[in-house]
Amino acid sequence: MLLVRDFTAEQLLGPRLAIVNPPLWEIGHLGWFQEYWCLRYRGDEKLLAPSLIAVTDSLYDSARVAHATRWSLPLLSFDSTLSFLDAVLSRVLERLAIEPDNSTLRYVAELAAAHEEMHGEAFTYTLQTHGYRAPHAMATARAISESCSGDVAVVGGDYFLGAPHGDSFVFDNEKWAHAVSTAPFRISRTAVTNGEFAAFVDDGGYLKPALWCEAGWKWRAGIGATAPVYWQKIDGQWRHRVYDEIKPLAADAAVMHVNWYEADAWCKWAGRRLPSERDWEQAAATTPDDPRGDKAKRRYPWGMEPPDASRANLYGFGDRIAPVCALAAGDSAWGCRQMLGNVWEWTADWFDAYPGFERDPYKEYSEPWFGNHKVLRGGCFATSPALLRNTWRNFYMPDRRDVFAGFRTCAR
């Protein structure tokens, strides 16, 4: 509860917005979700065990409780909500101890843990969106290593995109590794920086229709966007709002809070393109001596060892946002830096199913969003290290700017 422990009663509900949930509702939803899958689920919704609290389905089931109504529901109090979460967790741990060989239980427990980690990141979005105080558990700044500008060349060719079969938990949209082919390409070593994006803004990039796709220009004109959402020019210098403070814009940090349309427009302005999912994953998960991933795809850009503070800027490891040349130990085999952590990275692709897709029991996770969301890869500073791997596919509507997202690019 580090992310919400300082909330006032008013902040536990917060303003009614389409892109965030009331924090009090979201906390209750975490308990409902864990209880539903780990204690009540029996393989068929008609066979559910009862909830510890009879009203939870009518309050916290995100598939059935309309978003706009969540501020006016008779939600449990904050203390009662935390007591509900504690009771559910205690019973789940008891069940795991009693049924260590239950593969279905193990799967849904991992699902519930991943779900909670994702909502932890979403709480951080909420803090930024509403201009609340910064979350706790931020560490010290990073030292910057050598310059790391420019592109790296990746050979392309045949490649296996997606998660390989194995014992590790993955979501249905990652299943399974399948053969694809890419042309040789060049991809930037780092994400686009604030300084690089500011040049586009200062050149009037937001006012040039030729740089924008049709939907992007309609979005930009509709809200009158002339710069990234939290940017302000004060005394001739760009600054930005970071939670509840206005701070100077660090030129060497990755640009963040830009949506897919803004990233695409910058690419047109710079003569670049966004990477496809195939480009991104091959640059992250293979090596020059095994570009197909035949021997073993890397789970992380640097190899198979789990993330740590020397390799990635993830939740609990480092800064809110780090310079793009920091963390050289996390380079991929091709030489790309920070492919995990710091900022989510937009790709060119629409979110869709891989060949042979089969929906997992949590049917609301992937399938409802196929076709109208864009894929992001790599995680951000607010993402739990336990969540990420090179095959992880995040997805958002292309107009979302509240997400901690930036982008890296490929040569045309």
Per-position DSSP letters for 312-330, written without gaps between them: ---TTTS-SS-BTT--GGG
Q: How far apart are CA 374 and CA 138, in angstroms?
A: 29
Examine the pLDDT at 66 and tell me if it is beyond 70: yes
Q: How far apart are CA 320 and CA 140, in angstroms?
A: 10
Q: pLDDT band for 295, please (50, 70, 90 cuts).
A: confident
Q: Please give the model's pTM, rounded to 2 decimal places.
A: 0.96
Residue the block writes with tokens 């695409």: 264
pLDDT at 296: 80
Contact 340, 312 (CB under 8 A): yes
pLDDT at 144: 63
Examine the pLDDT at 6 and tell me if it is beyond 90: no
pLDDT at 135: 82
Residue the block writes with tokens 């660090």: 250
Rounded to an integer, the average pLDDT of 186-205 is 98
Nearest alpha carbon to residue 277 among 344, 346, 366:
346
Percent of the chain with pLDDT over 70: 97
pLDDT at 291: 87
pLDDT at 142: 58
- Write out pLDDT tens, residues 11-34: 999 999 999 999 999 999 999 999
pLDDT at 7: 85
Contact 320, 137 (CB under 8 A): no
Count other C-beta atoms under 10 Å from residue 140's C-beta.
7
- Write out pLDDT tens, residues 122-158: 999 999 999 999 886 555 455 565 679 999 999 999 9
pLDDT at 136: 67
Q: How far apart are CA 121 and CA 15, in angstroms?
A: 19
Residue the block writes with tokens 């993402």: 383
Contact 205, 265 (CB under 8 A): yes
Percent of the chain with pLDDT over 90: 88
- Write out pLDDT tens, residues 73-92: 999 999 999 999 999 999 99
Q: For the purposes of burial, counting CB atoms within 10 Å of the CB of 294, is it exposed (0-12), middle (13-18) or buried (19 or more)?
A: exposed
Helix ranges (DSSP H) in 177-276 = 194-202, 214-223, 260-270
Contact 351, 373 (CB under 8 A): yes
For 162-219, strand residue ranges (E) read 178-182, 185-188
In three-state secondary structure terms, 267 is: helix
CATH class held by domain 140-412: alpha beta
pLDDT at 43: 80
Domain with CATH 3.90.1580.10 in the chain: 140-412
Strand partners, 277: none
Give the β-pairing of 151-154 and 374-377.
unpaired
The overall average pLDDT reported for the chain is 94
Alpha-carbon separation of residue 171 from 222, 279, 388, 389 (angstroms): 35, 21, 11, 11
Residue the block writes with tokens 């204690």: 39
- Write out pLDDT tens, residues 224-233: 999 999 999 9
